[in-house]
Chains A and B, each alone.
Chain A
Amino acid sequence: MQSYRLLILPFLILAVSFTILYPNFADRTLKIVVKEDVYSLPEADQKVLVTALFERWAKDYGKTSGWTIEPQGTLPPKENPFYIVKGRFITSAKINQISQENQSLVSESKNKLEPTWIEETIRGGKSLSIKLGLDLQGGMRVVLKGDFDDYTSKLKDLYAKEIAELNLILNNPTAKPEEKEKAKSRLTEIESSFDLSPMRKIVELEKAKMIIDNRLTTQNLTEPQVRIQKEQDAIEVSLPGVANSAAILEILQNTETVEYRLEEPTPFLYKSQIADNERRMMDLGKRENTDIFLFQELVKNKAGKKAQDEFLEGLERKYNIPKDFKVYAMWARGNAAKSALLPRSFVVLERKIALSGNDMTNAQPSYNSNSYGWMVSFTLTPNGAEKFFDLTSQNRGRNLAIVWGDKVISNPVINDPIAGGRAEISGSFSEQEAIRLANVISEGALPIPLSVLEMRFIGPTLGIESIEVGVKAVAIGFFLVMIYMIFYYRLGGFIADVSLLINLIILAALLTLMDFTLTLPGIAGIILTAGMAVDANVIIYERIREEIEEGRALSIAVTRGFENAFWTIMDANVTTLIAGILMIRLGNGPIKGFAITLCWGIVTTLFTSLFLSRLFMELTVNRMGVHHLNLRPFFFGKKETTNA
């Protein structure tokens, strides 16, 4: 390994690491967005809001913090409603704090920390700064309450057909008594499922919890805590340092489902009515008065699900559609390659659900090279496969719509009965949409709609005082350890210190790249990493010293020292690594945070102690003309003789 050229490697790694870590130390720009309605307030009220912001600002972020805020003490112009904050170490907790304390002035969900040029270049604008966990900086806590009324009404939709059939038997005077008896017991069974016992509620909440867990994992949040609050039928979600609460909330609460529903029987009575009317409007040159145009406008203006539902219900009234049927919009992309997914026409589907998402599993998105589009294939459960076969054999020639959330995304004609339990959905999806759809099918939709019961930002487990003191203590501890190493192993100690520092820098860069959220247990993992890194060097130096004491030449002693220590260090670290990987697989929350830093720490430790330290040491001995290496402490070390 005696080569100068290898030296380029540590420098390269350090350069990359510092680049990755740069956003943590750089001057950053934060855009605080002023709420639109503030501008319509009387001037006096505006002034009160602005003054409150700046007084609070002066108190907390005063002159010493090095932060500046513009425009100074006035409301920014309406066309450009931003306060620009510039400074270093802007944390998400601080951003939240500013928003929370000025709720009537600041539009929290739109605040934006401008990416640094590095984040722009290598991450396409995604953040590269180290995230701190709820226990270190606080974060958001949301309590979501299960809406069981809505849940039962959906259940009733699902059983509507069966209930009607059973009632028919019960009211049929010619039906046999045993048939009636059977129908009656089935009816009580169905009705009992509408009655939610506390136990049932917990089961449904558990399902919802699992789905939320999965959804959060895909959001790159390392240590979200999700737990059930039995007392109030709610799920509590703690999100460390989450700033963009609106977006996360939307993901959490999304109750999107996937269902199959049959279209009205052909010929399309209601659908043609609507289509005729729309065409007439077009012929009159009143495109902007057609219902589909109006509906598209609603979507484009982000009017929300409620407005869309109301619009569709309005159509049902307009065309006198019977209550067994329901109007949906068929969504698709335009002809242009990247046009938006928008409602393109209306279809009328049966109100009852033909096949629900519970009957489908294992969905996979895939790219269909024949049609140049994304599709989702999935498996049906045994029960679902049976239902699907019956459905497709009894309804040949009819259309079977696939409804995702409230969008019809595909509406194929049933040509032949489909058996075998596998099916696919093609529609005009983007890759992202195909993935999302596959997720909804695989994870299932939230079984119960969730409403926000309480949302607030909470303080850390450790107080500000402890964090300050703790960081200082750890820093002093490291410093003392480094001094001690130099005292004890002299030049060797210095080399160990350099590789320890490089180790920590690489580790920090790795964790940043992985979007790791740093928590208190995570810090404990880093402290252990440092301890083991020092230990590795100690093992090596003790070995080298033994070799020197046995009278070997220095360069041979160094090589043999590293070789002898190699397996000991490997064994110790690999065993710990196995334990760490197990902790990542089995544990969650605090255990996981600890284990992730520990595992990556071991990887960096092996690199720095077995490769870097060795490189430095051999270069020192072989190239820099150090002929005498004393690995004994100052003052106490006896004079050693080595053969250079």
Chain B
Amino acid sequence: MNKEMPLTGAQSVAHAMRQINPDVVAAFPITPQTDIMMNFAKFHSDGKVDTELVRVESEHSAMSCCVGASAAGARAMTATASAGLALMWEILGVASGSRLPIAMAVVNRALSSPINIHCDHSDSMGCRDHGWIQIYNETNQEAYESVFLAVKLAEKVMLPCMICLDGFITSHGVQNVTLHDDKQMKGFVRDYEPKKWLLNTDDPHTVGPLELQDYYFETQKQRADAMIQAKEEYLKIGKELARITGNEYPLFEEYQMDDAEAVVIVMNSTAGNTKAVIDKMRKDGKKVGLLKPRLFRPFPYKEIAEALKHKKYTAVLDRSESYGANAPLYAEIKSALYEADSKPKLKSYIFGLGGRNILEPDIEKVYDELLSGKFDHLETGYIGLRGE
């Protein structure tokens, strides 16, 4: 039976993990992820799951434990944030390079230094080239449902998958969430049936061996191909999930895009604020719209170029810096548009680093700037920065 209840994003993810009942969960606390594991540990103590919950001594160990468990044939999950994700760095590559379908919630938080516990995307953006699928989520409901999609997608293409949600804003903010029926969700993910698993003594094999000049390159091409394949599979599995949830899982969400002249592109919770601004500005007859990427890895270049081709002005709002380079999302959008015959005037904005608020008037100002047509599209804008 479906249940609608007020839940934080962290609780929503923990409920998804309860319904999935993974074989192994390895956990180490870090703000603002801790609430996911705290809630999941409660389910574990209450006997709601029969997961092997391993309390490891660091995130490096958490990911290592997941790698071992996944190679052994278990469905393995974990969650982390910020410095925790950074500490996993080495093993993130081992997970994707060994083609292990681990699912991990990443509660987006700024990376040190200076130390900061609040939201931005510098953690998950930092490992965007690490061979992990990345799904970004605006709401608690989206984050909850994406966990199921992530598990199934990972196991289909044999690549690990991150479910990203904004630290505190989403992880600790309460929204009404519809929890779908336990049995239905279990039926959706089914049991993990690996083709090869290390604990199968009838079929001994080696995972993670040495590969030098003779084979390493070929193995990387396979990983790149699997990532490309993940785009189609994401859509297919999303359609299957939609039959249960009634929600849609597009590569990116388009809000009021049909006749929009000015488009903001932004991911995660800020997309929600942007929708509120759009509703307000539309009442004044302003043609504004939103494109919210959900699948960031693999990145849907062609589809986004198609969605933007007749737009006049577009702003890309990044919640992370790429020091000395184009901001991550902006760089992808710009790259997507290079081959397009017609393209909008494109401007990059940085916002919300270290949890700096972005308010509705800030977003309205971006739209006004776009609609005026009078802006230097080559200069990076900074929203909410003093001195700007």
Q: Do A and B belong to a common assembly?
A: no
Interfacial residues, chain B to chain A (CB-CB below 8 A):
none
